[in-house]
Structure 1
Amino acid sequence: MVSDAGRPVAGPVLSVRTVGGYVLVTVAGVVGPGDIKQLRADLAVQAGGGARLVVDLSGVEFGDLTLGVGMLAGVRNRVIEAGGSLLLVVDETLSLALRRIGVYEAIGAHASLAEIDDVLA
């Protein structure tokens, strides 16, 4: 990932906005093993208070998919425990990993924001 000044950006970059009653968190960049804990904490903050959360991960590259999937499962559990809901937008690589372990539907994964719009309609 490159900043506006043309320098590489270390770790993932998050942007947060409210769209139609949901908190949309867009994550971009490379998420390495050292970034997982902070990303989990950042998403947990957004999930507080029973938020309806949509996390767009389509611009993310996980350095370790196993850690990424584990982190997403943990975030999902926190969101549910707080009375909220979670939907994910995932790229093809993460989609395949989630399908391979049989949690694609259970974790709330979707291929695009447009697909999520259809679910929310």
Structure 2
Amino acid sequence: AAQLDTGQTISASLARRMACEAGIIPAVLGGKSEVLDLGRSRRFHSRAQRIAKLLTAGGCQVDGCDAPPGLTHLHHKIEWSLGGRTDLDNTIMICGPHHARAHDPTYQLTPIPGDKFTFHRRT
């Protein structure tokens, strides 16, 4: 069940239909109700998402880079401005210099095995 701001209780199915029609994106919560998936409702990652990514990535995910988590940013694999979601599946942990290169149109960021990434010069 769900509740409207008027206090009226409605069924879960009606709440889902209303949210869909209104373009509302549900948030996926982790432990302690921390938001891990913000869909397109928010551009910047939350503190909880950063912690979750830190636990899985441990630092810059560019192959050969050993930048620690404290020197990294969270980067959308598919840019938010191009429809990318602010969720962990569309996020990589990347250091400042590599983040700048990720936005350089002369380079392409490519995934490789082991949850790592590499850059290739576009031709």
TM-score scaled to structure 2, two decimals? 0.28
Q: Which has the higher contact order (CA 8 A, sep 6+)?
A: 1
